[in-house]
């Protein structure tokens, strides 16, 4: 077996194990996961049509670019352990493979894992260059550059984010704080300014590392245990943040481009989805309780106190998400009521029927639709 075949087999087996772990964690989640995959793969293709079109509005280009890069980073981050062969690291380092072979194999796995996210803009760029070759030669260089700049910038930025997705660097500024801060000005930023802003933010976050979070001052107990676990295993929290931001970005794009009569139902759907994703933090805490049940039994806390602690800790993680939703301003007051109701009901489902907790927000959504049809 060649080295690249070994890494490919490890990659495929790790993904299978991850899907099996999802199946054990929640039957309801696994039932929906296969249906979500085609939609995830369709989103980049739809986004590329916007990003490659020079006539797209500034606001639409801004949110589409942010969502595309965020989805690309999250998609590859989800496969980080499989790409890096983390579980077989010691055996991998002992293999007689040269550094060039390892680099080419890693690059091939990155392309294989990112697939449509990196190949999509590359194909679009090549097709634009081929179909408009003579036109690009006949116009000034600055005009040719302006025509190819949007999709070229997408290709370069996507390549950067899929590379760092398998490392320890986190794009906390370029994909987090800066796009959020500039969201109110999205309609006034040109395509060139958007790409320049990402370039500056990338340089800044490479020079300014995130300050480490210290838990040494916290008292020993559940709060410290949960926080240490989250800091050590960032993947679930990172993916949850990515999903919340993606829902906000896609929802904002969709709602702003439909008529006002349809904005109410669309906002309601988004409120339900956001509530389920945010409330799923409690499911993670419950699985920790089941996994470390001996530690939980040794604590001077009864079952009710442990559940209250988990609820408060999950609420601490939900608070920034609710703040971001309020900052984007895409939900109406009635949507906020539905968001908080669905969040509460989902937590009740996680505490009572964790394998089928999605039934609770689904029933809530159906009853909300019936009540709206009867009284409004």
Distance CA 262, CA 85 (A): 47
pLDDT in tens, 12-26: 998 888 766 655 444
**Does one domain contain both 353 and 253?**
yes
CA angle, 22 then 28 then 33, to 5°:
60
**Does one domain contain both 284 and 344?**
yes
**Does one domain contain both 271 and 301?**
yes
**Does one domain contain both 63 and 1?**
yes
Distance CA 185, CA 58 (A): 10
Q: Which of 183, 209, 235 is the last residue of a domain?
A: 209
129 is in which domain, residue-wise?
1-209
Distance CA 362, CA 366 (A): 6
| Residue 356: closest CA among 25, 95, 14, 82 | 25
Find which of 75-89, 120-134, 212-226, 337-351 is predicted with most confidence, using mean pLDDT.
337-351
**Does one domain contain both 154 and 257?**
no
**Does one domain contain both 296 and 178?**
no
229 inside domain: yes
The reported pLDDT for the residue numbered 178 is: 94
**Does one domain contain both 197 and 82?**
yes
**Does one domain contain both 202 and 226?**
no
Inter-CA distances, 135 with 55, 61, 151, Å: 18, 24, 17
Question: How crowded is the C-beta side of 173, counted as CA atoms within 13 Å?
Answer: 16
310 inside domain: yes
The reported pLDDT for the residue numbered 202 is: 96
Answer for the pair 271, 326: CB distance below 8 angstroms, yes or no: no
140 inside domain: yes
- Average pLDDT across the chain, whole number: 86
**Does one domain contain both 161 and 262?**
no
86 inside domain: yes
State the Rg of the chain over Cα. Answer: 23
pLDDT in tens, 94-121: 999 999 999 999 999 999 999 889 999 9
Q: Which of 209, 234, 256 is the last residue of a domain?
A: 209
**How many domains are there within the chain?**
2
Q: Which of 155, 177, 209 is the last residue of a domain?
A: 209
Answer for the pair 83, 166: CB distance below 8 angstroms, yes or no: yes
Beta strands in the chain (DSSP E): none
Residue 29's pLDDT band, with cuts at 50, 70 and 90, is very low
Structure tokens at 66: 């942010």
214 inside domain: no
pTM score, two decimals?
A: 0.88
Distance CA 115, CA 126 (A): 16
Query: How many other CB atoms are found less than 10 A from the CB of residue 251?
Result: 22
| Residue 278: closest CA among 311, 302, 233, 231 | 311
**Does one domain contain both 262 and 307?**
yes
Inter-CA distances, 36 with 67, 76, 91, 250, 325, Å: 17, 16, 35, 15, 23
CB within 8 Å of 144: residues ≥ 6 apart: 136, 137
173 inside domain: yes
> Is it the case that residue 50 has pLDDT exceeding 60?
yes
**Does one domain contain both 124 and 244?**
no
215 inside domain: no
Residue 11's pLDDT band, with cuts at 50, 70 and 90, is very high
**Does one domain contain both 168 and 284?**
no
Longest CA pairwise span in the chain (Å): 78
Beta strands in 171-329 (DSSP E): none
Which of 74-78, 97-101, 171-175, 228-232 is predicted least confidently?
228-232
Helices (H), 183-234: 191-207, 222-232
The reported pLDDT for the residue numbered 54 is: 75
62 inside domain: yes
Query: How many other CB atoms are found less than 10 A from the CB of residue 56?
Result: 17
CB within 8 Å of 337: residues ≥ 6 apart: none
Residue 307's pLDDT band, with cuts at 50, 70 and 90, is very high
Residue 160's pLDDT band, with cuts at 50, 70 and 90, is very high
């Amino acid at each position: 077996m060649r080295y690249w075949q070994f890494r490919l087999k490890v990659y495929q087996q790790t993904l299978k194990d991850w899907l099996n772990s999802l199946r054990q964690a929640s039957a309801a989640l696994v039932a929906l996961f296969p249906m979500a995959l085609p939609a995830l793969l369709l989103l980049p293709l739809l986004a590329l049509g916007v990003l490659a079109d020079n006539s797209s509005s500034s606001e639409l280009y801004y949110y589409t670019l942010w969502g595309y890069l965020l989805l690309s980073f999250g998609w590859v981050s989800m496969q980080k352990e499989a790409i890096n062969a983390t579980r077989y690291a010691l055996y991998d380092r002992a293999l007689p493979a040269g550094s060039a072979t390892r680099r080419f194999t890693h690059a091939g796995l990155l392309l294989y894992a990112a697939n449509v996210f990196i190949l999509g803009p590359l194909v679009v760029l090549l097709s634009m260059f081929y179909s408009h070759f003579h036109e690009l030669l006949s116009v000034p260089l600055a005009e040719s550059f302006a025509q190819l700049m949007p999709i070229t910038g997408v290709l370069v930025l996507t390549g950067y984010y899929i590379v760092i997705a398998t490392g320890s660097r986190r794009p906390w500024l370029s994909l987090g704080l800066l796009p959020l801060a500039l969201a109110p000005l999205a309609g006034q930023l040109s395509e060139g300014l958007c790409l320049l802003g990402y370039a500056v933010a990338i340089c800044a976050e490479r020079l300014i590392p995130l300050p480490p979070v210290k838990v040494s001052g916290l008292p020993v107990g559940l709060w410290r245990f949960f926080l240490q676990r989250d800091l050590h295993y960032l993947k679930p929290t990172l993916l949850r943040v990515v999903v919340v931001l993606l829902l906000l970005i896609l929802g904002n794009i969709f709602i702003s481009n439909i008529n006002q009569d349809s904005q109410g139902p669309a906002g309601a759907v988004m409120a339900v989805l956001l509530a389920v994703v945010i409330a799923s933090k409690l499911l993670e805490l419950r699985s920790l309780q089941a996994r470390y049940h001996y530690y939980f039994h040794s604590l001077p806390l009864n079952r009710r106190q442990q559940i209250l602690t988990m609820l408060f800790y999950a609420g601490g993680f939900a608070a920034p998400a609710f703040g971001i939703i309020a900052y984007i301003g895409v939900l109406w007051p009635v949507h906020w009521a539905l968001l908080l109701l669905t969040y509460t009901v989902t937590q009740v489902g996680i505490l009572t029927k964790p394998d089928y907790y999605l039934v609770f927000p689904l029933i809530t959504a159906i009853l909300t639709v019936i009540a709206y049809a009867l009284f409004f």
